[in-house]
């Protein structure tokens, strides 16, 4: 079993995150985004007219995972709209050398309800489920 701190380290360090949403016909859609692990949530932005933006307006349920398939962390939750504030802009600038400004799309946070983690090299022995409900 892996500790939650191990998963948090990977969530915080990841450069890219895969966002998986559902289209209105329930077909899946996956797209990579830049994002942050901030205040116990994944924070990212998207254009409201993008496929993921339209999907999330229809159904806020989402799966998020960092890019690694060797050190796996998968979170499930609901995307909630938030305002871009100085803390987000500062953290985003420190991570990506790019400072987001308004307007620039919608900002969302995903607080994990359930998460999964494992080391590919030691699966299934390290397979871990975290339930935050």
pLDDT in tens, 68-122: 999 999 999 999 999 999 999 999 999 999 999 887 799 999 999 999 999 999 9
The pLDDT of residue 104: 76
Query: Cβ–Cβ contacts within 10 Å for residue 16, how many?
Result: 11
Distance of CA 79 to the CA centre of its chain: 9
Rg (C-alpha) for the chain, rounded Å, is 15
Distance CA 84, CA 108 (A): 9
DSSP track, 34-84: EEEEETTEEEEEE-TTSHHHHHHHH--EEEEEES-SSEEEEEEEEEEEE--
The pLDDT of residue 51: 97
Q: Which of 32, 109, 123, 100 is nearest to 78 (CA)?
A: 109
The pLDDT of residue 103: 75
pLDDT in tens, 49-63: 999 999 999 999 999
Bridge partners of residue 82, in order along the sequence: 107
Distant-in-sequence, close-in-space partners of 43: CB < 8 Å, separation ≥ 6: 35, 36, 37, 82, 88, 107, 108, 109, 110
Write down the pTM of the prediction: 0.95
Which domains can be identified in the chain, with CATH numbers?
4-131 (2.30.110.10)
């Amino acid at each position: 079993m892996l500790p939650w701190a191990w998963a948090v380290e990977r969530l915080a360090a990841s450069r890219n995150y895969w966002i998986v949403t559902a289209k209105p016909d329930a077909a899946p859609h996956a797209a990579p985004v830049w994002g942050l692990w901030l205040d116990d949530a994944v924070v990212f932005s998207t254009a409201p007219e993008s496929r993921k933006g339209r999907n999330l307006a229809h159904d806020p349920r989402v799966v998020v995972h960092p890019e690694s398939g060797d050190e796996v962390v998968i979170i499930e939750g609901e995307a909630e709209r938030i305002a871009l504030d100085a803390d987000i802009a500062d953290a985003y600038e420190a991570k990506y050398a790019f400072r987001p400004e308004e307007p620039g799309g919608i900002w969302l946070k995903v607080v994990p309800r359930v998460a999964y983690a494992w080391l590919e090299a030691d699966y299934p022995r390290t397979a871990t489920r975290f339930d935050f409900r």
